[in-house]
Amino acid sequence: MTSANPYGDSRFECLGGRGVLFLAAAAGVATSTSYVVQPELTRIAADLGASLATTSTAAGLPILGYMFGLALLVPLVDRHPARQLVSVQLAVLSLSLALAALATNVYAFGIALLISGICASTGAQMSTLAGKHSPIETRGRALGGVTAGISAGVLLGRAVGGGLADGIGWRAMLVIVAGACLVCAAGSRVILPGATQHRDQPYLATLVAMPRLLWTSPELSAAAVSGALWFFAFSLIWMGLSLALALPPLNLSPTVIGLYSLAGVAGIVATRAAGQLADRFGSRPVVFAGLALALACTLAMAPALSFAPWMLLALALFDTGLFAAQVANQRRVLNIDPLQPARFNSVYMVVYFIGGSLGTAIAGPIVSLFGWPAAAATAAFALAAAGALYRMREPRRAD
């Protein structure tokens, strides 16, 4: 379960291969819970006697909850034993999904999903744990494995949720997903480290001090803002593409449009390799290579909307580049303070998530007013800006 401690401190047990594999699987399960109900909104609205608009709003609350969890719960990794922290949150996640399955109105449904979203942020905690409890020479590989699990949860959550709901109904589907979370909670009690963590200041003081890290740590600010820029580009491309494919002249069905997301599998496969490369060569070369690949693919996608083979290839390489950049960049963030990395990762993820939310929000106006090429051009500009900022604020020390 554990290996030699690289820090010389009994508080920091090292995860073995089994621990990293468990974190990857549990992070995927937790992350997927924010997406499993999305394919069934029409049926859920009818069962709850609510409008589709209100039900869609309720189904979006896990994403809002996830953002609160990034800010409020991820810092707890530096304060509580991993075994205790993860198991409790996964248990609450399981309970909230079960309550959503039992909901008789859309308001109870939405509140339960909001709580589930907050607890689903344990996936981000697991990436922090992978970095914190892995030797520095394999930290990127461990982080890449957990990131692959999170990415798989995002990619497969809708597909698995929709498939189960079609077969057994959305309520039974939520019960099964809740059961999976409970299994992961039990596993965390056995597999994850249980050492007591040092608390150098009160929790509220930690939260208040966290935003200042963007000003006091130039390395964190560079990593966070550049990461937000490329997540902005990522979200803009995928949301903009979904809209563009549904509009004339293509008018593709939702099912066909959903198949485009399978191109993201290439990005998931790339995360572990990216982590290994970052361990060997450092984070910066992997970030720059990933951004260069994503930028080239974005420019290639601009005129290729109606040519599916070229678009799918470009999307696969686009995801590969940005997933690789994300793994390497997060490795860099976790290395700023290897003994207490959670507060840095929390700030990073909040800023990163804000960038992605903005990309999603402006995709519709850009595509509807100016067309798909304008969306691709905007994303390309964001990627170029991310690379320039990362280069300008490049730290002198090794990462």
Q: Which residues touch 184 (CB under 8 Å, ≥6 apart)?
A: 25, 26, 29, 30, 90
Residue range 60-73, pLDDT digits in tens = 888 889 889 988 88
Number of Cβ atoms within 10 Å of the Cβ of 277: 22
What are the sequence ranges of the domains in the chain? Answer: 14-201, 202-394
Query: What CATH architecture does domain 202-394 belong to?
Result: Up-down Bundle (1.20)
Residue range 359-385, pLDDT digits in tens = 888 888 998 899 999 999 999 999 999
| Same CATH fold assignment for domains 14-201 and 202-394 | yes
In this prediction, residues 290-313 reach a mean pLDDT of 93
Question: What's the pLDDT at 99?
Answer: 97
Residue 245, token pair as written in the block: 């494919």
Domain 14-201: which CATH class? mainly alpha
Q: How confident is the model at residue 158 (pLDDT cuts 50, 70, 90)?
A: confident
CA 209 to chain centre: 24
Residue 207, token pair as written in the block: 């939260």
Residue range 208-220, pLDDT digits in tens = 888 888 888 888 9
Backbone angle region of 8, left / alpha / beta, with phi > 0 → left and psi within -120 to 50 → alpha: left
